[in-house]
Structure 1
């Protein structure tokens, strides 16, 4: 009887030790699979993204850490079209989101501001529309923000000046408007970071401080 109790206790302990890992894997797998459902994939680069597998770390283009948590998503130049999904904001340990040079459209989900570990956000050369979400200012670890070559509109959120670790910013070749922030990391960015936004002006470009007046859509 004592042996049977000890055996069942051992199984229970093993279950408790493994459960968080499995739950996290399923949770993150669901988030990634939401992206797969939302995009067209003519070259089948997402073919290995099988929702019946417990661990998304076995999927191609996905990198994980020792805890089986997703840290990197490499889908640059993959000919994907469709929209980004808010579920990507659930990948709490994601450090690199590489979706550049695709045909992705629609808005940048505000939920990406939940990626607290993100170091690099590369969405350049797509067909993204709408504003730059102010929620990206919550990405305190962010060093590289490249949104160039899209169709983004609206102002550059002043909240982005809080990104003290930001080293590279490129929002060129969009349709942004208003004035360019001049404080925080923005004091270090040159004209090339903002080029080819015909409605955008600011102290870095014209040499004196301007303030946004009137509408900017």
Structure 2
């Protein structure tokens, strides 16, 4: 129990646990069946999910986890947003970022890096395709209204909010590039991305979460995007 609690403490505070850092805990988890079972039981009871990727361990909050996850209100405050449609816009941008890096589980290959213009093109294309097929894709009025609201918000936004290139690298919700920057900043703050000269590289934590997400929690948005963009 003591080792399981120590492992939990390290992971929940963002420390690395791998065959190179906190390696004693990593080896204990992989070799001690009792600790493995105790830790697994803790994860289930706390609605957390453990992922193992490239000899390292990562945890993430399960769906509807109000203790270790974020509510919509908390996320709006973190991102400087006022209403849910702005938050859903950021969700949609983040989902496009994910699909740019990782298409599916068949190859387990990742894009090396992406830039804001890659995301801009992806969001433009996926929203346009989905909205044009809403009557076929959506299952209810709520889904239809949600995508219409996002599409209208995106359509009304200018590409940039300033002629000053330095200003346009900042996170403002008054332009498309500004929204993309908000999404990138959030992913960086969550220790999922590294930014180098406006290029965004996914770290192993991001890859672990996304690779397993595509296996376990693709959900309804994945279905809609697949039907709207691929068909």
Same fold (TM over 0.5): no
| Structure possessing the higher radius of gyration over alpha carbons | 1
TM-score normalized by structure 2? 0.26
Richer in strand (by share): 1
* Structure with the larger RCO, 1 or 2 (CA within 8 Å, 6+ apart): 2
Choose between structure 1 and 2: higher helix proportion: 2
Q: TM-score with structure 1 length normalisation?
A: 0.27
